[in-house]
Amino acid sequence: MKRSRKSTQNERADRRIFPVLPLPPERVIFPRMTSPLVPSRQPGVSAVRHALLADDDLLLLNLRNGEDETPSLNSFLSVGVIAAILESVDPNDGTVRIMVEGYIRVRVHRIIRAGDFFQAEVELIEDDPVVSEPIRELMGQSLELFEEYVKANKKIPSEAVMLVSKEEHPGHLADSIAVHMSLKPEQIHTILEILDPKERLEALIDILKTELEIIEIETHLQNEVKKQVAKTQKEFYLQEQLKVIQRELGQGGQDAAEIEELEEKIKAAGMNEEAEEKALKELKRLQQLPPMSAEAGVIRTYVDWLLALPWHERTEPNTDTEKAERTLEEDHYGLDKPKERILEYLAVLQLVEKLKGPILCFVGPPGVGKTSLGKSIARATGRKFVRMSLGGVRDEAEIRGHRRTYIGSLPGRVIQGLRDVKSKNPVFLLDEVDKMSTDFRGDPASALLEVLDPEQNDTFRDHYLDVEFDLSDVMFITTANLLQPIPAALRDRMEVIELPGYTEHEKLKIAELFLVPKQLEAHGLNSKNVSFSSGSILEIIRRYTREAGVRNLEREITSICRKVARRVVKDGKSKTARVTKTNLKGYLGQPRYNYGRASEKSEIGVATGLVYTQAGGDVISIEATTMPGEGKVTLTGQLGEIMRESGQTALSYVRSHASALHIPESFSFDKHDIHIHVPEGAQPKEGPSAGITLATAMFSEITKRPVRHNIAMTGEITLRGKVLAIGGLKEKVLAAHRANITDIIIPKENEKDLDDIPQEIRDVLHFYPVERMEQVLERALE
C-alpha cells in the first residue's frame, strides 16, 4: 500500500500529536533520509498500525538505552524526526515492515501513553535556510574535513563526497555528512539534537577533527606493526640462510632445539625485565658460537646461573604467632628478647601484605645459642634456612661475586645460597660477622652494607650476574661475639639483640630439657641406662665449666655418656648408671675450677673487678704493691692501651686527692714505685671499666687498709673522681654470682640496667650504685 507525504505547511499546526515509533540508540534517521524499518516490539508495532489506520505520520524517536525492553515516558531523547510511511507490508508474524522518509525535526514537549503504544506532543522545527558568510565558511571547512575523512577511512565510498557537496542548505549539509560517517550513538544524537544549523556545523567540525586524529594514530600504529613484522620475517629468513651456510661449512652453532628450549625457560623463569633482556642477548651470542669454543661454555654457565635463581619462587611464611611461639619454646629455653622480636615481626606480617625482612644481629658469648636460634627462627616462620660463615673472610668477591672477565668466576655466596635453597625469602644466617678481615682484595664488611640495607637490597647487583636481584624478602640474621669489631656503618644497618650468658638456673634447665636427651639419643642410650641428678649437673656447671654458654657443659655430658655407653656394651643393657654429685669425679676426674672463691680473705692491695670478655663476664683480682724507688708506675698482665690509660688516670686521681683521701704524709709518691698486676697474664685485657678497681687497689696498698673480699666492682674513673657508666653489666653480674660474691659496686648510670638481670640473681646480691670514687672507697675498704 502506497501513501503520499503531506506536503504543505498549512496542513500542520505548530504543535501536533504523533504516534511514537521507538528506535534503538544506534538507528538514527535524519530529515530527508529514506530507510526501511521492521518494528518487532509491541509499542512500535501498535504505533505503526495506528498511523496507518489514521493516515498519519510517525514520530521516529530514539531510546536512550537500547537494552530497555519496556520503555517508559523518560526513556526517549528530547528531539526526533517526523517521517512519512511510504510503503508498508504486514507479514502476519507479529511485525510490520515499512519504508519511511524523514522530513522535519521536532522538539518533544510531552509523551503520552495511549494503550499499548506511546504518543508525543511535539513542536515542528524548520531549519533556517539563510546562508551567512560565517556559515558559508563553516560549510566549506566541514566539506574539506569530510573529504580528508573519506580518504583516510576506506570504508566510505568516494562518491559520498560528491553527494554531500551538492547540499546548499547548512542544516542539510551537516545531516548528510553525519549520515555517511561511522559515529558512536552519542555523537549522532548530539548532531540530531542541535536545532540551530550553525551550531550543528560547529559540533560536526569538532567531531570530524577528533575522528581524523584517531584515524591518524591508528594508521601510525598499523605502519609500525607492519615494519616490525617485516623486520621479523627478514631476520628469520636471514637466520635460516645462515644456518644452511654454517652447515655447509661444518661450522654449525648450538643445537637449535637446545637454544629454543633455553629461550622458553628464560621467558618462563619470571625474571625482571633487565635480567630477561640480558639472558636473551647472551643466548643470541651463544647461538652464533661453535659448541666447542671456550666463550660458549662461559655464556652457557652464565645463562644456567640466571635460570637457577629463584626469581619468584618463595615459601609461604607461617604467620601463626601461637604456633611460632610453641616452636621457639620447644627449641630454646629463655632468650626472651629475640623470641619476642620474631613474634612481633610475624604479627605485623599478618596485618600488611608485604614487609621487608628485618636485619637482626645476635651478639653474645660463644655457646649461648645464636646459630641454633637462627635455625629455630627458620622453622618457626616456615622459611628455608641458609648459613654462611664469615669468619676469616677477607675477599669482597665472597659477598658480591667475581666479574665474568676472570676464569672460573662465580656469583657471591649470597646468590649461591639463594640458588641452593630455591627460595627468595629464606632465613639467611651470616655467622661470625665480627671476624671478617680486610686486605688488598677488598673489604667484605663494606660489601655487606648493600646486602644488609633494607632500603637498597631490593636492587642488589652481584658482580657476576650484573643484573638486579631483589633481596628485600630475605630475613637476614647476623651473629657476633663482640660488637666493637663490627664497622659503625654496618652496625647501624642492623637491629642489635644481645644474648648474654645464662644463669645457673637457666643452664640447669637447658641441660635437663635439651642437652641430656640429645646426647642420650646420640649415644644410643635411654633413661633406663643412665640418669643425671640435678645436683650432678649443677656440680658440672660450677666446678667443671666456666663459661657464659653451654658448649663446654654439653661436652662434659657427652663425656659421661661415652663412658656409660662403654659400660653398657661391656656389662649389658640391664645395668643402670645414676650420675650424682658424689660419683661425678669417677666420670670427669678432679674439678677444674674452685667455685665460690674469688678471694678467700680480705687483703691489702687486692681488689676484685668485673670484666666482659668474648666468653662472657669474668672476675679478676687486681693487685697493687709499693716499694721504695723513684716514683715509677709499672702495669703488667698483658694490658691493652685503654686499660693502661685507666691505670694512669686512677693514679693521677689518688695523687691529686691525697689530702682529701687522708693519705699518710709519710708516704711520698716521688720516693715509692707502684706496681700494678692483673693475674692470668697470658690473657689479653682491655677496656676502661676496671678504672675504679685499679684506684681501689692502689689506695688500699698506700693506706694499708684491706679491701673486703666479698665485694666486686666495675666502673670507669675520671681525673675528677667521677664514676662513669660501663657496658655488659648483666654478664659481669652473672660472673660475680658464679664466684659467690655478695656485694657489687656499679655506676649510678647503670642502675637502670639492673632490670635485665634475672630476679633470682638480684634477690641474692646487694648492689651499691655510686657516682664518685669516694663512695667506692667508703664501701669497699674495711
Point out the catalytic residue in the list 689, 704, 730, 752: 689
Predicted local confidence at residue 4, as pLDDT: 42
Indicate the burial class of 671 (C-beta count within 10 angstroms; 0-12, 13-18, 19 or more): exposed
d(CA 614, CA 616): 5
Predicted local confidence at residue 572, as pLDDT: 73
Start-to-end CA distance of the chain, whole Å, equals 137
Residue 250 has pLDDT above 60, yes or no: no
Predicted local confidence at residue 111, as pLDDT: 87
Question: Which of 291-305, 314-328, 348-362 shows the lowest per-residue confidence on average (mean pLDDT)?
Answer: 348-362
Predicted local confidence at residue 573, as pLDDT: 66
Q: Could you confirm whether 284 is annotated as catalytic?
A: no
pLDDT band (50, 70, 90) for residue 409: confident
18, containing H or E segment: strand 15-23
Q: Could you confirm whether 689 is annotated as catalytic?
A: yes
The dihedral through the CA atoms of 102, 103, 108, 112 has a sign that is: negative
d(CA 78, CA 63): 10
What's CA 41's distance to the chain center, in Å? 61
Give the angle 331-336-338 at the CA atoms, nearest 5°.
Answer: 80
Predicted local confidence at residue 599, as pLDDT: 59
Q: What interhelical angle do 197-249 and 170-180 show, nearest 10?
A: 30
Residue 94 has pLDDT above 90, yes or no: no
d(CA 310, CA 425): 9
pTM over 0.85: no
Question: What SS3 class is residue 274?
Answer: helix
Read off the amino acid at residue 198. K
Residue 270 corresponds to which cell in the numbers above? 619470571
Q: What value does the mean pLDDT take over residues 685-698?
A: 89
Predicted local confidence at residue 743, as pLDDT: 93
Q: What value does the mean pLDDT take over residues 344-364?
A: 80
DSSP state letter for 69: S
Of 576, 503, 505, 580, the closest CA to residue 535 belongs to 580
What Å distances lie between residue 671 and 118, 296, 660, 677, 735, CA to CA? 130, 83, 20, 20, 38
Asked if 717 and 687 touch (Cβ cutoff 8 Å), the reply is no
Asked if 393 and 447 touch (Cβ cutoff 8 Å), the reply is no
What Å distances lie between residue 583 and 473, 539, 588, CA to CA? 53, 11, 9
Asked if 401 and 302 touch (Cβ cutoff 8 Å), the reply is no
Predicted local confidence at residue 651, as pLDDT: 92
* Alpha helices (H) along 269-311: 273-288, 294-308
Bridge-partner residues for 628, per DSSP? 672
Asked if 346 and 323 touch (Cβ cutoff 8 Å), the reply is no
Give the torsion through C-alpha atoms of 11, 12, 13, 14, to 10 deg: -140
pLDDT tens track for 627-652: 998 889 899 988 888 889 999 999 99
Give the chain's mean pLDDT: 84
Total length of the chain = 782
Give the phi and the psi of residue 688 in degrees, each rounded to 5: -95, 0
Predicted local confidence at residue 5, as pLDDT: 43
Burial 563-586 (b: 16+ CB within 10 A, else e): bbbeebeeeeeeeebebeeeebee
